Structure 1
């Protein structure tokens, strides 16, 4: 267990900001430091490196230089965004619209792929039944052309799915 020195300023801030008594503040701050998580460091105005530790359970940030706790404060409260409800409603509507468009496009492309697969199966059956090399060559060309079309449509469908998933993830961040 690392031992920290608590400055008078830190004690005053613990009394002021955390509601601790002056005699209990040093012990309280040392206890917080034992379970606080290191967040980073910045150079201070006097050249010392300030290290920041966050204690998430109590929503407290501690600032340390070397082994001295120099100040303490609560996490800043989230500032309410003006028009947050209206923005959320707009995002929901836009997401619902993109979801409808995606489902419509996905359904159309899936149907198109299924129809080409039926046609492809018929040509493969005809190819298997055909005896003439000329007919087989003609059917082989049609089969390869249909396979190319199915591959192109499948690629288009995959791209639409990726685009919709990106939209879904983006909307989830705001909602």
Structure 2
């Protein structure tokens, strides 16, 4: 459902006992406000790579908390985003769950200066400065970014293959 259709999403939320999560295509606290005001979701899912970074994510989580909405960051964008979400989880009392991709590439741990640790269902914060990451630039140079065609949004903002793709 396109993010601007919050009234419709709120109708769905009221008609089901299944908790609704949304927000990966919302980009600021201003985009989330109607979602929260209309109680359209049980969980908000802002993406740290799209929703204004750490400060904006913290603001979105705080707004969600005021509406008793859980904070469950959308996080398919790699280990740096995972570390950002991990720190946000520690700072946001309404944090619920973290999406992450532990085995997306076999060179992840080498690039990040070591593995992510998961113990008893939790991911302890790293102890280093900043986000606790020591990037291995040489490993990253060996694996340059390659754009992928993710053109899944139609002109009307629904999701699916475009009929008129070249």
TM-score by length of 1: 0.20
Higher relative contact order (CA 8 A, sep 6+): 1
Larger Rg: 1
Q: Which has the higher strand share?
A: 1
TM-score (norm 2): 0.21
Specify which structure has the higher proportion of helix: 1
